């Protein structure tokens, strides 16, 4: 099968895949109208990045479209939410963290339906809330530690001194003495009644019954007083032992607090050494920045197929763009055409004398001077139609202008791209100028630089037409080129991957 037929079949297959994806799985994002935008305001948006998830009850329903700082110092965040999820007028948003060093998401409380539906494009009426950072938690922990130290110092000042111990012991002794006196009083009262029983018998005859009851009460009271005294003594001894244990505990706690405040141990260094605390805080911040950089990496693909006239050359290319920042990316390219690159093979074909005259080395009549053999260097050109061109470029964007430098079709060169600021949703126009192969290594008998000029006109979000000129300054290879291409950005690729059966394969 001819190479022209293969390229043609490849173009038709790509077009078929393109239309299948467009109308069957929505890879070209025709469903952008399914998302509604809202605005929410925060005093602090640290950890929240563009394209961060927007969730309701932990379920992703959209993403962060844009962050901007207003003149009053408040951050405005524009979010998109699928229109199947309604937000109400009393809804509010909260920035939550996925972990200690992980990224952040924007959690939305949709509010109460009784307050009414929030119109698309409106502001969330309630201000956004931001979770406390790691630095704030560390400062709170230090304040709690200082409060505990003050409480321990107060207990120590009351119980750990000799005067406090003496007063506590004196109080216990007073309680014991009062119990003993009460017991002696009961015994004396019983003796008086028994000794004078006969003398007061006549007087108390009518009150005998009452006296018996009173005696029983006194006896019971005496018994209970003895039991109470015993319990007080036991309680005093237990309280004294507890006071000694509390004193030892306070002493140990004071020693531990002194070690912590003097910077001994890991906890002491973390609390007292401000530089160590700052290093820990900076390390956490650096890790967060690194994770944020990885989350910002985007990938886009560009596939183009075109033919040139009058050379009849058929070309195809695939380009992958790896963007680490919004204005900086790397370009990796693989291209092929029906002609292919040229390789050069050098060899020595004949012998000449020092005057560059051909000689016969077998002629015996030649002098030694004439036999000094100098081989002539010859070069053979070989063109490989089935080989590929490779390009690796570093690209820097300046608003609508992009500068590129690096490898262009196996040769060093530079390139310039310009996006016309056309205000249409599905229409874009980009021009490309590339200069490479400055010595004509990929051409035959042509040492002029290889210059190409191209126009890419996007008539749909992911499809464009290619019109341009190839090898403009070449006398033999200058040609007009036209074709068709497809481009997919990071969102389109992720949308396509979501339809692959990766879970079933795993």
Q: What is the distance of C-alpha 470 from the center of its chain?
A: 44
Least confident residue range of 27-36, 272-281, 483-492: 27-36
Band the pLDDT of 29: cuts 50, 70, 90. very low
User: pTM (2 decimals)?
Assistant: 0.41
Buried b (16+ CB within 10 A) or exposed e, 110-149: bbeeeeeebeeeeebeeebebeebeeeeeeeeeeeeeeee
Report the run of H or E that residue 256 belongs to, with start and end: helix 208-261
60, 98 Cβ separation under 8 angstroms: no
CA 121 to chain centre: 27
pLDDT of residue 165: 64
Q: Tell me if 438 sits within 8 A of 444, measured CB to CB.
A: no
| Number of helical H runs and strand E runs in the chain | 8, 19
pLDDT tens-digit map of 192-231: 667 776 666 766 666 667 767 777 888 887 777 778 777 7
346's CB contacts (< 8 A; 6+ apart) are 377, 378, 379, 380
Average pLDDT over residues 285-306: 78
Which residue has tokens 């260097």? 377
Angstrom distance (rounded) from CA 330 to CA 328: 7
245 pLDDT more than 60? yes
Which residues, in sequence order, are CB contacts of 55 under 8 Å at separation 6+? 61, 105, 106, 107, 108
Q: What is the mean pLDDT of residues 72-97?
A: 89
* Calpha distance 390→334 (Å, rounded): 5
Residue 34 has a pLDDT of: 81
């Amino acid at each position: 099968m001819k190479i022209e037929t293969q390229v043609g079949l490849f173009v038709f297959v790509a077009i078929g895949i393109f239309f299948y994806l467009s109308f069957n799985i929505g890879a070209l994002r025709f469903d952008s109208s399914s998302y509604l935008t809202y605005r929410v305001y925060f005093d602090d948006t640290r950890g929240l990045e563009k394209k961060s998830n927007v969730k309701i009850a932990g379920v992703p329903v959209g993403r962060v479209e844009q962050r901007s700082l207003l003149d009053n110092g408040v951050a405005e965040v524009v979010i998109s939410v699928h229109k199947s999820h309604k937000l109400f007028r009393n809804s509010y948003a909260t920035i939550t963290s996925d972990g200690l060093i992980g990224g952040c998401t924007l959690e939305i409380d949709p509010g109460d339906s009784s307050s009414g539906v929030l119109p698309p494009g409106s502001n969330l009426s309630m201000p956004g809330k931001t979770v406390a950072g790691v630095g704030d938690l560390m400062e709170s922990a230090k304040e709690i530690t200082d409060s505990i130290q003050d409480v321990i110092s107060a207990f120590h000042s009351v119980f750990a001194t000799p005067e406090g111990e003496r007063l506590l012991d004196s109080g216990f002794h007073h309680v014991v003495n009062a119990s003993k006196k009460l017991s002696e009083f009961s015994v004396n009262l019983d003796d008086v009644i028994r000794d004078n029983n006969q003398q007061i018998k006549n007087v108390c005859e009518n009150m005998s019954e009452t006296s018996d009851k009173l005696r029983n009460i006194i006896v019971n009271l005496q018994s209970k007083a003895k039991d109470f005294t015993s319990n007080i003594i036991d309680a005093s001894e237990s309280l004294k032992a507890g006071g000694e244990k509390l004193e030892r505990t306070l002493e140990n706690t004071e020693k531990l607090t002194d070690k912590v405040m003097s910077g001994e141990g890991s906890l002491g260094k973390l609390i007292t050494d401000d530089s160590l605390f700052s290093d820990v805080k900076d390390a956490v911040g650096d890790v967060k920045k690194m994770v944020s950089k990885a989350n910002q990496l985007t990938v886009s693909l560009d596939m183009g197929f075109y033919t040139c006239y009058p050379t009849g050359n058929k070309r195809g290319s695939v380009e992958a763009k790896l963007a680490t920042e919004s204005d900086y990316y790397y370009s990796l390219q693989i291209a092929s055409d029906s002609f292919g690159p040229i390789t050069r093979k050098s060899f020595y074909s004949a012998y000449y004398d020092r005057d560059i005259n051909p000689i016969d080395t077998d002629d015996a009549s030649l002098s030694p001077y004439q036999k000094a053999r100098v081989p002539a260097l010859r070069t053979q050109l070989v063109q490989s139609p089935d080989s590929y061109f490779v390009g690796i470029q570093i690209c820097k964007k300046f608003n609508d202008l992009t500068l590129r430098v690096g490898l262009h079709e196996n040769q060093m060169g530079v390139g310039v791209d310009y996006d016309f600021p056309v205000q249409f949703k599905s229409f874009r126009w980009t021009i490309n100028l590339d200069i490479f192969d400055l010595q004509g290594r990929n051409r035959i008998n042509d040492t002029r630089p290889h210059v190409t000029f191209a126009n890419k006109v996007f008539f749909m979000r992911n499809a464009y037409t290619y019109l341009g000129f190839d090898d403009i300054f070449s006398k033999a290879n200058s040609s007009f080129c036209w074709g068709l291409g497809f481009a997919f950005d990071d969102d389109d690729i992720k949308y396509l991957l979501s339809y692959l059966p990766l879970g079933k394969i795993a």
